[in-house]
Structure 1
Amino acid sequence: MAETSNIAKMAEKISEDIFRWFKWEHVPIKDLNFVCHKGKQHSSSSKDKKTHPVDTIFKYKDPYKGREIIFNTDLKSYKKSSITSSALRDAIWSLARTIDCAEGSDEWRTRYTFSSTNYEIRGLLFVYNHDGEYQNNFCDLFKPKVGKEGKLTGGINIGNIPLREGQQLHIIEPLLIQYMRTIISDMDKLHREGLFPERSYSFYYPDLLLHKLKGDTQQHPATIELISGPYMIIKHEEITKWCEQTKEPVIRYGKGYVIYYNQTGETYLEFIYLFDMLSNLQILRTKENKIRIRVAHRQPFSDIRSSFQTAVEIYTHSLGGDEFKAGVLKSIEFEIVEQTKDIFSTNDIGWDR
């Protein structure tokens, strides 16, 4: 029983550690149920549903909406063989009913919103693979298989999930967790080397035509959409470190952008698209800001550096003699990040420190 309990704690420990780096706030109220007010509508049997579970709550303020996004989070810690369509389907349905009930629950609102009136409730299913062996495409769990007589079996029909219009449910799956852990490990490594700030960084979002940024841009979090996307841009100011010899602060690295890239880089066209995006965001307009592209994909293309250099040459040629922007482009630092994979012993998790 103790080992089972410790396995369950793994997802809790990992999620809390991950999301603070991405500037999510953790609400320190865990493992409390709230009363279901929809009875048989939310029940899987003939009896009324009594309560819904809440493992934990994470939240952040959306940079564009300006409202709090509150994630009613279901934490799962599975070994590879337990990550199945059936298990995932049960977890999704349970979480969908939970957030449906949460929207109309005074008990939930009083406990988790802290009197906020501008918020949105979403579901978050956090699926951690504690043995570190899951390397499959998670989306395959949703696809039905061809059974006997050509009939489709298994899979998950997302059209049947009991979500109402406007409700959202997100899944952070094992490989996305590995990607996030890889970024965190790299940020920590750069910080130790004096090349990344400890806390004074923010995730970069542009002002859009119809949606302008809200709030303090220095505190913007990585939204769930940004984390799940092909890249994320982190903006930082000059990095100052204390010099033990001179007993004075010194500038170790200039201000700029770190771009974590989560694509294979198999063709130069990927980077042409990335350069276009950086140009549109006016990130290529000044040499004062250093630009670092760091590939954090778990299986980058074996010759990804050639893809990148080809893109630099082609894009530079397309600039029509703009030597300044060409110089900025050629000064971009390009690195492949070492992958991080956490595998915990159940004894380690249960040990109080």
Structure 2
Amino acid sequence: MVDADSTEKFKKYMNAEKNRINDALEEYFQFVLNDVKDNEMIKIVRELRNYTMNGGKRVRPILIATAYRMFGGKGDEIYKAAISIELSQSFFLIHDDIMDRSDLRRGFKSFHRKVEEMLGDIKDKEHMAESLAIVAGDLAVDYSFDALNRSDFPLDIKYRAMGELIEIIKTTGYGEGLDMFSSAGVKLKMNDLIRLHLRKTAKYTLEGPLLLGSYLAGKSENLNALKAYGNLVGLAFQLHDDVIGLFGTQEEIGKPPKSDVNEGKQTLLMIKAIEKSHENDRNFINGCLNSGDISDEDFERLKNIVKQTTSFDYSRWLIDRFIEAGKRYADRIDGNQEQKDFLKWFADYLVSRKY
């Protein structure tokens, strides 16, 4: 459980780390903007800067810094390297919103919709905005490697960290592809879904950032417990996010609550509800996932089916099991106890949002 004293202590820690990361992002974007020579692209890069700075808890770079300290890393150069994961986050989110045709991100207009607004009255504006958003995403992933490369770590350390950043982006790309296939109607079983979540979420949200921080500290061996923590807590985070996505409000989600259903996402909630339903309800669930624009009435019925089939309870049970197992692995990490305590608290914190 998340106790009050730990919450106050570690939230202060996260806020202080977030401020340092934001400072490093601001400094990097100022460098980039000074380097851009084309007036048109200055507008796009400036919007990329605004998009990256606007919202986000900086969880991933905080985990990089935490792992770095856990294995003896010292000094503030880590923040210049840690922003690499936040820049790649912008890349993923911009492209993800185009693929999902999402109009909102973090409660604000998605990047391609913001660019569309900037363009004014031009021919084929929607396609132009999406194309420029793809370009911005491509720049963001380039910036992620550039930021890491410009950090003042020894070359052999940066080389190892760069390899992990490549692995994060590649693995997440595979996960994104699997997710697109599932939204197109390719049926997933439980094992398929776990594989998707490990690739799309756990790798770049937890395991990857933790390994990046470890490598930057010079630690590259005996990291199996750290990897297990990242995978288990990453799975719990995604399953919890899926529950919030169905039962949360727009303010909590940052986009309309029907979004996942309208995108045809096969979450664990849907897979288990289909598995445990009779034929009429199975057909109804599949119809909802294929509709693209579910009505309010059908959305409420769908949520009721998810609860009546105990799919909701099963997701909550599995989230708890993953979190508890992740915390046990955190205890096994051969590192500084204060950072290990943070990781255990953080596991609970990630799934503490109500629904």
Into which bin does the TM-score normalised by the smaller protein fall? under 0.3
Name whichever structure is richer in strand by fraction: 1
Under a length normalisation based on structure 1, what TM-score does the superposition of the two structures give?
A: 0.27
Instruction: Give the TM-score normalised by structure 2.
Output: 0.27
Structure richer in helix, relative to its length: 2
- Which has the higher relative contact order, 1 or 2, with Cα contacts under 8 A spaced 6 or more apart? 2
